[in-house]
Structure 1
């Protein structure tokens, strides 16, 4: 299944995605790749919570999700953000379908810690058959990270971890974090490829700083035995390096040299 590419679009990035970005997805498809989008929706959720005067605290960087907050999360992610992306993709000529993790048992989850985070979950199952059927029909899935537990409880899922779970389950060629930056810059130079080890050094030395730190940390946490590289690209100025690759920074697992 190495022709699959999972694109994670952050909530703050969705509104800023350029026409070039959508056109490039079209080109990736024409080159034989099968893209899937998993998106966040932080700003849309916050706007709706503010309008409804519902308070939601952040704990360890995660939005504590009560039943009331979960209603808003589901409306914002599955409704507003998901459908905006689907409309734009279809306008660009990409046949796409919006899905919540609860559609067709697409994403199953369990609580991380109900007491601490409320209804925030981690994914323990991805319905790969459903996604493969859609891809085989040339339909691009656009996934809102809301999931159900075995007993039907709804969970709010961090979009980074949802995208990583989907990429691993499908044995994707690559997981791409679509952000508002071109990748990792060393001075003015865009670094095309870095290892886990180098990232840690860059954070320590300040090359990677500010809002870039959580982005690269999320990318690092996504790496696994089955997902050996992730990429950070710019959704506002999206460009293609080759027919099957976007311009950005690839983060690879550190290869350990075994001494004889």
Structure 2
């Protein structure tokens, strides 16, 4: 993932929240109340979501094997249509409906038509039908925010030629956060943040993260999360939080220290 554009932060009242797929079926009332509280304080909220468990279940039903490479799901040609249906036709409407039921105005979106973001193959020979973000149309997202809605964005896109692309959710969330000049990016997972030797690190900096990747204390799906966090910091996002649905966990900032 490459982020070369340093975004100005003229509006510090936007938050991007990325929900891991494992969280979606078990979201608690406290999560929705926290969103409302942020909105009441004047924050505009964007949600990006994955759908790992639903995707895995649907792939297994179709006898399609799956694997991850460097924390990124390899997506074969036969798997990509199943991934698309899981994310766009199942998970996205389900989450959007949950928000609406909690009296939060929301609209389900994705990157297939290129209106929200444009994408292309990340590395087809290595990852298959997995995408990278080329451009985010922040004006489209801002339009929904100005209308008082929470954009709920599935991490799925397509090439300009129409080839479907599964995109890592942390990557999508990071690029959107940068494009809109978000105050913070929250990566909500089923863990309480970055754990090193079973201890949650409350606040860390990029140097420590790089050391932990080298020592393999950080591994698997946490790697793209922390790498996205570091790139966001370098591009100007003040802080990235890897947290549970109660917004408790690890804050990553350039000045962060272990606690």
Q: Is the 8 A contact 1:107 1:148 kept in 2?
A: no
Q: Is the 8 A contact 2:113 2:158 kept in 1?
A: no
Q: Give me the whole-angstrom Cα distance separating, in 1, the residues matched to 2:66 and 2:194.
A: 32
Deviations 1:198-252 (A, max 9, x none): 334556788x5566853434433443322232111111xx1xxxxxxx4432101
User: Following TM superposition, by how much is the alpha carbon of 1:79 offset from its aligned partner in structure 2, in angstroms?
Assistant: 1.5
1:62 to 1:204, Cα distance in 2 relative to 1, 3 A = closer
Residue of structure 2 in register with 1:243 after alignment:
none
Worse overlay, 45-54 or 195-204: 195-204
1:144 is aligned, of 154, 175, 179, to 154
Residue correspondence of structure 1 range 96-245 to structure 2 within 5 A: 96-103=106-113, 105-184=115-194, 191-201=201-211, 213-214=222-223, 215-235=225-245, 238=246
Residue of structure 2 in register with 1:252 after alignment:
253
Q: Is the 8 A contact 2:68 2:74 kept in 1?
A: yes
Bigger radius of gyration:
1
Name the count of aligned residue pairs: 245
Deviations 1:163-182 (A, max 9, x none): 10111111111111101223
Q: Is the 8 A contact 1:203 1:213 kept in 2?
A: no
1:61 to 1:212, Cα distance in 2 relative to 1, 3 A = closer
TM-score between both structures, scaled by the size of structure 1: 0.84
TM-score between both structures, scaled by the size of structure 2: 0.84
Worse overlay, 139-148 or 224-233: 224-233
1:191 to 1:53, Cα distance in 2 relative to 1, 3 A = closer
Q: Is the 8 A contact 2:81 2:164 kept in 1?
A: no
User: Following TM superposition, by how much is the alpha carbon of 1:12 offset from its aligned partner in structure 2, in angstroms?
Assistant: 1.4
1:205 to 1:110, Cα distance in 2 relative to 1, 3 A = closer
1:11 is aligned, of 7, 11, 21, to 21
Q: Give me the whole-angstrom Cα distance separating, in 1, the residues matched to 2:33 and 2:218.
A: 31
2:33 is aligned, of 8, 23, 26, to 23
User: Following TM superposition, by how much is the alpha carbon of 1:141 offset from its aligned partner in structure 2, in angstroms?
Assistant: 0.3
Worse overlay, 213-222 or 138-147: 213-222
Q: Give me the whole-angstrom Cα distance separating, in 2, the residues matched to 1:189 and 1:67.
A: 40
User: Following TM superposition, by how much is the alpha carbon of 1:154 offset from its aligned partner in structure 2, in angstroms?
Assistant: 1.7
Give unpaired runs (5+ residues) of structure 2: 1-10
Worse overlay, 109-118 or 36-45: 109-118
Q: Give me the whole-angstrom Cα distance separating, in 2, the residues matched to 1:161 and 1:178.
A: 14
Q: Is the 8 A contact 1:114 1:120 kept in 2?
A: yes
2:45 is aligned, of 29, 35, 44, to 35
Root-mean-square deviation (Å): 2.5
Deviations 1:118-141 (A, max 9, x none): 111100111111100000000100
Q: Give me the whole-angstrom Cα distance separating, in 2, the residues matched to 1:153 and 1:130.
A: 22
